[in-house]
Amino acid sequence: MSGPVQCPHHPYVHLIEDHRAGDLVCPACGLVVGDRLVDVGTEWRSFSNEKSGNDPSRVGAPESPYLSGGDLSTSIAVGFGGSDSDNTLANAQRKTMNNTDRQMTTAMNLIREMSERVHLPRNIQESAFRMFKEVHDSGVLRGKNIEAQAAACLYIACRQDGVPRTFKEICAISRVSKKEIGRCFKIIVRNSSTNLEHVTSADFMSRFCGNLYLPNTIQAAATRIAKRAVDMDLVAGRSPISIAAAAIYMASQASAEKRTAKEIGDIAGAAEVTIRQTYKLLYPKAAELFPEDFKFEIAIEGLPSFIQRFIFGTKSSYSCFDVYEDHDNDQTGLPVSAKL
């Protein structure tokens, strides 16, 4: 079995690859250690006549470890005005194509398309490809919608790579329901060795605050508020997204960079009422939640509060709603549930 290619005179020097000549050259002595190397990557140079449309001089996509033929097989495409014989050849190839490769290709295209919609990097796409390959080979999702499978794999890949997305966000970039994606996710986790760490509110802070154009000081304060709230068991049963949104709301309201519950909810994908309800759990302990060095533009006593008041009912039953009180301008606004 041959070992790694290295210079016999300088074995610890990293070799330089000459892509034009296909040579491996030692930078220390100039010795050509290997020649006529085959590049399995994509050909980026163009030898076409610069017309629009597909470049006929291209030799296909780079080698893929997820397909049985390494994606080096010939594909028959039919252009505009193609003859009947061209169509016949293309149809014949589709019929003879491996079913596993056909599904893998479809899933990879779906994952790539969804990733590009939310600007996910290439490494997350690769993780999702590997996950789908493992799941497909195991057969645990046989019969499930292939797009739901691909979306679930992308959701898992995001969590594994430390950039989690919510089910609602993944659902928004796919054409399947959150319920279908959730079912596939549960089956994958149950039947594989996938190790997923628990998602915390801190995982969403950077993205939420960035999309809200909040400074780092607000992000740091919101992160601290959320962590302290969890440690003090103030928000038991609340989702990390709701906790993050409520913490951002509290931190922003105490600063000059105020954001409304609706603005935060639009970014976080949480209902305005949910953010307010979670905020109500934080408000009584606000003095203990903020960082010691936080610069308050609004004192804690001046932060918005939600006071429950009864408005109608009988002796035996009462209905109530939450009144929003803004201590700065003494305006009162009703939540969505009260505007009926």
Which pLDDT value is given to residue 229? 96
**Where does 99-191 sit in CATH, by number?**
1.10.472.10
Which pLDDT value is given to residue 277? 95
Q: How far apart are CA 252 and CA 217, in angstroms?
A: 10
| CA angle (193 as vertex; 188, 195 as ends), nearest 5 | 90
Dihedrals phi, psi of 185, to nearest 5 degrees: -60, -45
Q: pLDDT tens digits, residue range 164-196?
A: 999 989 999 999 999 999 999 999 999 988 788
Look up residue 102 and give its two tokens. 């056909």
Check if CATH label 1.10.3720.10 holds for domain 202-301.
no
Instruction: List, for the chain, all residue ranges whose pLDDT scores fall below the cut of 50.
Output: 1, 72, 80, 308-340
| CA angle (232 as vertex; 227, 238 as ends), nearest 5 | 70
**Which residues make up the CATH 2.20.25.10 domain(s) of the chain?**
1-39
Strands 23-25 and 32-34, how do they pair? antiparallel
Which pLDDT value is given to residue 16? 81
The residue assigned the tokens 């919101």 is 222
CATH topology of domain 1-39: N-terminal domain of TfIIb (2.20.25)
Which pLDDT value is given to residue 6? 82
Which pLDDT value is given to residue 41? 58
Look up residue 173 and give its two tokens. 């970039």
**Which residues make up the CATH 1.10.472.10 domain(s) of the chain?**
99-191, 202-301
Q: pLDDT tens digits, residue range 90-136?
A: 666 666 666 788 888 889 999 999 999 988 999 999 999 999 999 99
Please name the helix (run of DSSP H) or strand (run of DSSP E) that holds residue 167, with its range, or none. Answer: helix 167-172
What sign for the dihedral angle of Cα 222, 228, 232, 233? positive
Which pLDDT value is given to residue 49? 54
